[in-house]
Structure 1
Amino acid sequence: MLVEDNPADADLLQEILEDAEEMPWSLVHVEQLKQALSTVQTHDFDVVLLDLSLPDKQGLGTVAKTHETVPDLPIVVLTGLNDKVTALEALRQGAQDYLVKGKIDHELLTRSIRHAIERSQTLKRLRQSEEKLQQLNEELECRVAKQTEELRQKNHDLQQEIAQRQHLEAELRQSLTKEKELSELKSNIISVVSHEYRTPLATILSSSELLQHYGHKWQEDKKQRHFQRIQNTIHHMTQLISDVLLINKAEAGKLEFKPVPLDLEAFCQELVEELQLTVKTPHQIGFRRQGRSRWVGLDEKLLRQFLTNLLSNAIKYSPEGGTVQFDLIFDADQVRFTIKDQGIGIPEKEQAQLFDAFYRSSNVGTISGTGLGLAIVKKCVERHQGEIAVDSEVGKGTTFIVTIPVGSELSPESLNIVGCV
C-alpha cells in the first residue's frame, strides 16, 4: 500500500516499482491516513509506504498510528526531509526504514521493501518467542511459590513435632531435598532463557549480515551505520544470554580477561545510543565526560557487560521515568563510572547483600529480575582490579560508582599493534 497525497510522487513510485522486474508488486494507492488504516484492517498487505505529510495527519504521528493499528505490518517511511534525528525517531516509533524522496531508485526501494518485510517477520517471531518465554516464566514462578510454601509448612510441622517424632533425620533430609530442588529450578530458569532466545536472535543476526554484505551498494551512509548497530546489538544480546553462566565461571576463577586499547568516551557514547534506542519508556540517559578523554586498556566484553547491567537496572528500577545520569570521569591513574537514577532506592540494611547472586531487595515488588545482574557486575569490575560502591536511599534513587585503575595513556596506533601480535 502507498499512502501519498502527491500525485506526482505516487506516479514516480509506481514507475519505480514497475521497473523492478525481479519483484512484481500490486500497488494500492490512497491519499489519506484514515482511508489507509481502514483498508489495512480489511485487506492483506506486505508493506506500507507511508508519507509523513498527509492531509489528515502530519509528522511522526502517522507512523505511530499506523504501527498501533497493524503492529505486524512493516512500514517504510517516505519523506522529503533528510534528517537523521527524524529518521531515528521514525524507527523508534515502529518504522522499518526511512527513505528520502528524490533519492529513491528501483534498486534502493525494492531492497528496502524486501528487508523491511524480512525484519518485520523476524521481529514477529521474536515477540512470539518472548511471549512463550514469559508464559513459561510465570508457570515456573507459580511452581516455585507452591514448593516454597510447601517447604515452609513442612519446616513448621517439623518444629512442632521435633520433641515427639523419632524420624527427625528422615524429615530433615526431605526438607534439604526440597531446598535443592528450588535451587535447581532457578538454574533451569536461566537455562530456559538461554535456550529460548538463541534461535530468534540467530535469525536476526543472519538478516543483519545480509544487509551488511550488500550495504556497500547503497548511497546512504546512515543506513549502513544503522544496520551495523543492529548487528552489534544482536551480538551483544547473544553474548548476554551466554553470560548468564558468567557468574559460575567467575566463582571458579575461570573468567577470561582480555584488555585492549579503547577510545572509552566513544565506546560509552555508542553504548548509550544503543540503549536509548531500545528503551520503550520515557527515560533519558544523560552522558557526560569529565577530565581529558584518552584511550585506556580494558576488556571490552566485560566493560559492556557491567555498564549495560548498571544502566538497564537504573532504568528498570525508575518506574516513573526521568533521567539516568551516566558520568565518565578520567583521573590521573584511574577512570570512574557513575550511574545515578531517580528510582525506588535500596534499603540501607540490604545494601551489604546487594552483590550476592540471586539476591533481590525487598522493595522491588513486581519488577522482574533474576538477582544475577549486580553479582555479574561486581565480578567484571573485580576482574579489572576495580571497585564498586553504592549510595542509595529509598524513594530518592541510587548511585553506583565504579573505579578502575588504568596505566599509561594508549593510542589508536597501539590498538593496531595489539591486533597484530
Structure 2
Amino acid sequence: MLAEQSSSHTLLLVEDDDLQARLYRTMLYRERGTEPVATDEGGGETGTTVETVRTLEEARTALEDDESFDLVLLDLNLPDSLGLETLDSVLETVDGTAVVVLTGIDDDAIGREAVERGAEDYLVKDRVTPRLLDRTVTYAIERRRRVTEIERQRNELAVLHWLVRHEIRNDATVVLGWAAALDATDPESERIVSRIEEAGEHIVELTESVGVMVESLEEPQTELVPIDLVAVVEEEIDRLEARHGDCTVAFDRPEGTVSVRADRFLNVVVRNVLTNAVVHGDAEETITVNVSRGTDGSAELTVSDGGPGLSATDRRRATERGYTTDEEGIGVGLYLVRTFVDRYGGSLTIESDPERPPGTTVRIRLESEH
C-alpha cells in the first residue's frame, strides 16, 4: 500500500553538495522505478518529483511559495545555517509537511534530538541505501499524514465539545426554565409540561455524557490512581435523588472504603449506570445499589432496577455505541460506561436479577487498590 502511494510524491531536497544531491535523486528514482514525467491536460503518468535547493534561505522561499511538498529531505549543515537550528527554521516554515533530517555526523543523539524537535526521522549520510532512503521517505510522509488527520479530528472534537457543553446544554436549560414556569391547569396540560421537562432533562444528561466522551478523547489517557468507590457512589446517589425527586435508592455498602484504580471519570461511570436504572426502570420500584469486595482482590458495583427487564439480545448489545431499545432515542450511557471500564481494566455485565425479576442488573468489576 505504502509503496503504491510513494509514486506521486513531491519532495524538496535541501543539500549543498551537488554530488550528494544527484546521488539521493538517483536512489529515489531507481528504487521507485520511475523518473519525473511531464504531464498535460490530456493526462499521463506522474512520477516522483524531487526539487533541489542548496541553502536554508532557498528552502524557506520554496516552501513559502509552494505548499504542495510532501516531504523535506534536509541536510543540517548548509552554507547559511548549521546544526539543529536549520531544522528549527524549516519547521517554522512548514505546516503539515514531513521533514527527514540528513546528518554527516555518525551520532544517533543528534538524530534523536531532531525527532524530538519535530522531524519525522533521520538518516546518517554514510549509511543511506536506496531501499532505506525510499522506505524512510515513504513512512515519514504517511506518519505526517496521519498526525495531520488526528490534529484535524481533535479540532473538530473541540468544536463539538463546545457545542454540546455550552450551546445545546444552555438551550435545554432554558427549555426547563420555561417549562417550570408554566401553570398547568388540567391533566392534559400537566402531561404536556411533564413530557417537556422529561425531554429537557434527558437532553441535559445526554450533553453530559457526550461532553465527557469528547473530553476523554481530547486528552491523553490519564494515569489510574486509587479512588474510593463508596464515596463516589454516595455522591452520585445524592446527585440522582436531587435531579429525579421521585426515585428511591437503597444503597448496601460495606464498612470503610473500597479503593479502586480509576481516574476522574469514575463519577461519570457511576452516574450513567444510576441514570440508566432510572430511565429504564419502574419509577415506583426501588433502585438497589451494592458495593462489595471480591475474594479475588477486585471490587464490585451492582445497580439493579425494577423495570421490565431486557432480552438476551438487548443485554448483549446494550453497551454498543448508539444501540437503544427505544426507537426514538440513541444509546450513549452504557457505551460510555463500557469505554471507561475497559480503560480501567475491569469488566461489565448486564443480567436479569434473580432476586427481583424481571428487572435488570448492571454489574461492574474493577481492580481494587490495596
TM, length-normalised to structure 1: 0.44
Q: Which structure shows the bigger proportion of residues in helix conformation? A: 1
Max radius of gyration: which structure? 2
